[in-house]
Amino acid sequence: MSQQTIAFIGTGNMSYAIIGGMVKNGFAKEQIIATNRNQEKLAKVAADFGVRTTADNIEALQQADIIVLSVKPQMMAELAQSFIAAGVDFSNKVFISVAAGITVKRLQEMLGHPVKMVRCMPNTPSLLGRGVSGLYAEGTSEEENQFIEAVFNSTGLVVWVDKEEQINDIIAVTGSSPAYFFLFMEAIEQKAIELGFNAEQARALVQQTALGAAEMALSQTDISIAQLRANVTSKGGTTHAAVEHLKANGLVENVSGAMDACIARAQEMEQEI
């Protein structure tokens, strides 16, 4: 299994990050094929990682044992159709879809076969080896799952889920959530500028504080996140005033509502695509 060839079809942001992690973690470059319609993007992947590249999806499909479907959800049906039209026997290959909002059943319908299918929900910090990937498998062997786990371990933390619908929960908790943190950072950055810091200072201040807070959580897992917050919050002090304002204005309920909206959108996409 370790010598399997893996093809990334539609190597954009997400697959670029996964390939980067694999190469850094000792997967053979010859084992990895990246495709894209866009030659510039392909040239970047080739230059950065030295993996095999091609604009021909069918060539990659033929040569690989594992196919990572990594185009936008709305492009998936057209891609699957082109696989069928090429007349390649792919019924024994393992497919991994990183697309949000397309079920295994729907992917199999698109491909016209009950192929072995893994759904993966990664996130963009995978680029730095700090990602989280949720995995759900149907029809794969233990050996295949181990290989796939090793692939995604090279980009960060891996969590398997037993039920497919939990992939939508993973989207809310880790797939989309880097954007929630970025929004919070943007809000602090914007206010810092309003307070008179220049743009460069505001960016430096917010990113260093976010990194410091994340590293404190990472390095002190024996202390709850609530306690880490309490440790900043002096009784009757400034942090207390700020945190109470956020709470009174519904921050916690808002985050919960945002995550529900994320899951609802994934479910809606399952009906649309």
Ligand X SMILES: NC(=O)C1=CN([C@@H]2O[C@H](COP(=O)(O)OP(=O)(O)OC[C@H]3O[C@@H](n4cnc5c(N)ncnc54)[C@H](O)[C@@H]3O)[C@@H](O)[C@H]2O)C=CC1
Residues that bind ligand A1CAB (CB under 6 A): 100, 171, 175-176
Token reading at 53: 């590249």
For residue 38, what are the contacts with CB-CB under 8 A and spacing of at least 6?
none
Question: Nearest-CA neighbor of 103 among 122, 117, 124, 90?
Answer: 117
3 state SS of 8: strand
79 binding partner (options ligand A1CAB, ligand X, none; Cβ < 5 to 8 Å by kind):
ligand X
Task: Report in angstroms how near the CB of residue 171 gets to ligand A1CAB at its nearest.
Answer: 5
Distance, CA of 189 to CA of 187 (rounded, Å): 5
Of residues 27 and 95, the one with the C-beta less far from ligand A1CAB: 95
Token pair 């796939």: residue: 148
Task: Report in angstroms how near the CB of residue 93 gets to ligand A1CAB at its nearest.
Answer: 24
**Beta strand pairing status for 32-35 and 94-97?**
unpaired
Consecutive H or E run containing 6: strand 6-9
Phi, psi of 104 (to 5 degrees): -55, -45
Contact 45, 17 (CB under 8 A): no
* List of residues contacting ligand X (CB under 6 A): 9-10, 12-14, 35-38, 41, 57, 70-73, 75, 79, 98-100, 121-124, 175
126 binding partner (options ligand X, ligand A1CAB, none; Cβ < 5 to 8 Å by kind):
none
Task: Report in angstroms how near the CB of residue 124 gets to ligand A1CAB at its nearest.
Answer: 8
Task: Report in angstroms how near the CB of residue 237 gets to ligand X at its nearest.
Answer: 37
Of residues 11 and 31, the one with the C-beta less far from ligand X: 11
Distance, CA of 259 to CA of 252 (rounded, Å): 11
108 binding partner (options ligand X, ligand A1CAB, none; Cβ < 5 to 8 Å by kind):
none
Of residues 182 and 241, the one with the C-beta less far from ligand A1CAB: 182
**Residue 3: Cβ within 10 Å count:** 9
Of residues 27 and 73, the one with the C-beta less far from ligand X: 73
Of residues 124 and 153, the one with the C-beta less far from ligand A1CAB: 124
177 binding partner (options ligand X, ligand A1CAB, none; Cβ < 5 to 8 Å by kind):
none
Task: Report in angstroms how near the CB of residue 238 gets to ligand X at its nearest.
Answer: 35
Task: Report in angstroms how near the CB of residue 213 gets to ligand X at its nearest.
Answer: 21
Distance, CA of 202 to CA of 197 (rounded, Å): 6
